[in-house]
Every structure is written in C-alpha cells, then in structure tokens.
Structure 1
Amino acid sequence: MKSSTTISMTHFGTKHKTNIFKSIHKQLFTEFKKGQMGYSTIAIIGQSCLGSAAAMVLLMGEMNTLLKMALLFFVTIFCMAFNGAVLAQLRPLTTFNLLILSVVFNTLIILVHIL
C-alpha cells in the first residue's frame, strides 16, 4: 500500500447540509445549559401554566370521554416528567428535551381544541 499511486479523496469541496431544527435545538440547548438553574425555574412555571391551560381546554371540550382522559393523562405525564427531571437534576439534555416535548404537546392540544 505504501507504493500505491491512488489519490486520496477529500470532501473539502462538498457542502454539508445541516438540518435547521438541529441547528436551532443546538443553539437553544447551549443557552439553556449556560443558565440551567434560572431557565429551569422559569420553565417550570411556564410549562406548568401551559399544561394547566391544556388540561382546562381538554376538560371543557366536546370529545369522547375515554379519548379526553387519555389526552389529559399525557398532558399530566409530560408536565410531571419535566418537573421531575428538574428536581432530580437529570442531565441538561434530558431536561431540555422533556421541556420541548411538554411545551409542543400542550401547545398542540390547545391549538387543536381552539380551532
């Protein structure tokens, strides 16, 4: 192999496409990690209020009772998972991802029932 005459290929000229969601997630996570104690405190208050609003909208809506209770279960579990992650001082990435999951799910529940 030492006397090989092949030219090694580099990928210097190729453009690597990055996913915009991964880029945003990385930037937000970096900021969250810097001030984790303060952001976690604010996030507990905010996502708990959002979860309460989602629960209220679910209970006020006209829907099959079994489906309503199943969605209410997930709203509660996602909110409690984030609160538990903060209290247990889990890794910042786990805590941040649970926050995103909780906020997105609760926001979708509210938007679906409003529209």
Structure 2
Amino acid sequence: MTHSGTDQKSSKLKKFHKHLFLEFKKGQMGYATIAIIGQSCLGSAAAMVLLISEMAMIPKMVLLFFVTIFCMAFNGAVLAQLKPLTTFNILILSVAFSTLVILFQII
C-alpha cells in the first residue's frame, strides 16, 4: 500500500464492481432486460438534452454519435449473449456516458 492510500480506494472500487457484477451475473437474464429499458431511456434523455442545447453543431453531433453507439453496443452485447463481464462493463460505460452528457448540458 502506498502512503497516499490509493490502493485502498481502488480496492474498495474493485470490491464494489465485483459485488455488482456477481449480482448481475446471478440474474443476468432479468437484469439485462431491465437494463436495456433503463439505459435506453437514459440514452434517449441524453440525446434529447443534446439536441435542444445551444452547442455548436459538430460537437453536438459527435456527442450524439457516442451516446447512440454506447447504447447500441449494450443492446447488441445482450442480443449477442456476450460474456457477462463484457456486457456489464458496457452497461456501466453506457450509463456513465449518458449521465455525464446530461449533467454537463444541464450545468
């Protein structure tokens, strides 16, 4: 462990990720179904917020592209029945990116 305590913080984050992943894996079919609905709604909200913003057109379309790609990547991962860890990590990426887009557009 370092003097700054970074190992302890990353260890807590890894434990939290592992706990959530194991829960997701245990009920993957149900959680994936609910997650598709939830992250698609969140992605739609992020797209709406982007489209009504007064940002320049090119950055707006680039962000919209990434929101769409991340949402579609998770949906595709579920449909392709990829490994649970891959599917779970794509879900986290999609939700985090859409949430950040919404937060940065509101602020």
After TM superposition, the score normalised by the length of structure 2 is: 0.91
Unaligned runs of 5+ in 1: 1-15
State the shift of 1:101 in Å.
0.1
Aligned counterparts of 2:59 and 2:11: Cα–Cα separation in 1:
34
Matched with 2:30 is 38
- Does structure 1 residue 111 correspond to structure 2 residue 103? yes
Query: 1:67 corresponds to which residue?
Result: 59
Question: Structure 2 stretches of 5 or more lacking a match?
Answer: 1-6
- Counting aligned pairs with the same residue, the percent is 74
Structure 2 CA distance for aligned equivalents of residues 62 and 47 of structure 1: 24
Aligned partner of 2:46: which letter?
A
The structure 1 residue matched to 2:77, chosen from 75, 85, 100, is: 85
Counterparts of 1:72 and 1:20 in 2: how far apart (Å)?
A: 33
Tell me the distance in 2 between the aligned counterparts of 1:25 and 1:59. 32
Please state if 1:55 is matched with 2:47: yes
Task: Choose between structure 1 and 2: higher helix proportion.
Answer: 2
Compare CA radii of gyration and give the structure with the larger one: 1
TM-score by length of 1: 0.85
Q: Report the counterpart of residue 4 of structure 2 in structure 1.
A: none
Superposed, which structure 2 residues align to 1:15-26 within 5 Å? 17=8, 19-26=11-18
How many residue pairs align between the two structures? 100
Structure 1 runs of 4+ off > 2 angstroms? none
What RMSD, in angstroms, separates the aligned Cα atoms of the two structures?
1.1
Deviation, structure 1 residue 32 = 0.2
Name the structure 1 match of 2:3.
none
In 2, distance between residues paired with 1:112 and 1:69? 15
